[in-house]
Structure 1
Amino acid sequence: MDRFSTERLIAERLNEGHLTDLVALHLDPDVSRYLGGVRSADVTKVYVATNMTHWDRHGFGLWALRTKDGAFAGRAGIRHIPVDGVDEIEIAYTFKRNHWGQGLASEIATALTDIGLSQLQLPSVIGLVSVEHVASRRVLEKAGYALEKHTAHHGEDVVIYRIRR
């Protein structure tokens, strides 16, 4: 599933051609506040390579997001992530600031959840969110995820939300 679309977004399998847009996204301190901080161009390049390898290994991963008019909006996806020593599969989404507050995160979270549970037949999917990231927590709750636990991840206080098939 290299491409899919929602009502307002087009998702394209992440590739090296998205690097410039992702570097700009990751350099924005407001966007990166809950992502572990601003990432340099070199770190983002490794990030893209790592996520392309994830696609090759698992058949799913991150997509670059564009609006229907072709403007880069952000990134989102489904990926393996170790949490408390367990291999979990999470949905993730990050948008440029000018796309905040428009319901796009809820739109993509719902689509990713459907892909994960229905198309990929995963038994469950998690959302891993900074305790302080209230907007992202609301997105997961609206998408039907239930708060499962608090934990630490890469030194951050986070909560895990889960939805099951």
Structure 2
Amino acid sequence: MRTFTIQTARFILTKMIDGDQDKYYSLCRNENVMKFVTGHALSREESDKMFREFLIENKSDNYFGRYFIEERFTGELIGAVKLDKIWNEIEIGYRIMEEYWGRGIATAIAKDLISFARDTLNAKRVIAFVNVENAASIRVLEKAGMDNIATINDFTEVKYKFSYSTQKSTVVKKLVDATVELVEGSLKNLKEILEK
């Protein structure tokens, strides 16, 4: 099976394959990275078990599944992402290595995934789920242009559902244009009244 890759200006996303267990464990053994994923750093055994489940997801010959994020020019491991299809929506997710936090990488990745879902997968709506206490990730999704549309009380956590709709920008643009037109018309009328 060929390995799918997604290339962006800064990163290469490579679909996880058997043999990548060490690379995946380097993400999972960090307590802070895993805080909102499992609640704790994983042992090697737990990491390998999770990775086996991802390999099953990745077997289909399409773009959906789990990927590593690597810096395009150095090959350094930055983190991991997922692309999933839930009904007619495309779900994105990401985990960034702690040493790369605070550099805008998560926002860049979220934007890249939204663009890929929209342009390559023809997604009408892109979604993401985030723990309500994960303030950093909430900010990332907001900066990426996503809106918080729901609160979901899961069995293990309370999450926000964020959404990016390709139709949203058209609706917002129409509203802004209509508002500008209304304000300009009102100002013109006011100017005419004042000049009399």
Same fold by TM-score greater than 0.5:
yes
Aligned to 2:169: none
Name the counterpart of 1:164. Answer: 165
Amino acid across the alignment from 1:64: F
CA distance in 2, matches of 1:18, 1:104: 22
Indicate the residue corresponding to 1:29 in structure 2: 31
Q: Given residue 122 of structure 1, which amino acid in structure 2 is its aligned partner?
A: A
Structure 2 CA distance for aligned equivalents of residues 153 and 76 of structure 1: 21
Cα pair 1:88 1:126 within 8 Å, conserved: yes
Q: Which moved more, 1:98-107 or 1:60-69?
A: 60-69
Structure 1 residues 30 and 130: alpha-carbon distance in aligned structure 2, compared to 1, 3 A threshold: same
Counterpart in 1 of 2:67?
Answer: 63
DSSP 3-state at the match of 2:23: helix
After superposition, the Cα gap between the structure-2 partners of 1:135 and 1:31, relative to the gap in structure 1 and judged at 3 Å, is same
Give the root-mean-square deviation of aligned CA atoms.
2.1
Q: Which runs of 4+ in 1 moved over 6 A?
A: none
Higher mean C-alpha displacement, 150-159 vs 40-49: 40-49
1:25-47 CA-to-partner distances (Å, cap 9, x unmatched) read 11111111111222232232232
Structure 2: state its 5+ residue gaps.
Answer: 167-196
Distance in structure 1 (CA, Å) of the matches to 2:12 and 2:119: 19
- Any gaps of 5 or more consecutive residues in structure 1? none
Does the C-alpha gap of structure 1 residues 36 and 154 become closer, same or farther in structure 2, counting only changes over 3 Å? farther
Whether 1:95 and 2:96 are equivalent positions in the alignment is yes
1:98-109 → structure 2 map (5 Å cutoff): 98-109=99-110
Identity of aligned residues (%): 25
Counterpart for residue 123 of structure 1: 124
Q: TM-score if structure 2 supplies the norm length?
A: 0.74
User: Residues 77 and 112 of structure 1 are in contact (CA less than 8 Å); yes or no, is this contact kept in structure 2?
Assistant: no
1:52 aligns with 2:75: no
Q: For residues 151 and 160 of structure 2, what CA distance do their matches in structure 1 show?
A: 4
TM-score, scaled relative to structure 1: 0.87
Q: Which has the higher strand share?
A: 1
- Structure exhibiting the larger radius of gyration computed from Cα positions: 2
Aligned to 1:13: 15
CA change 1:89–1:96 in 2 (3 A) is same
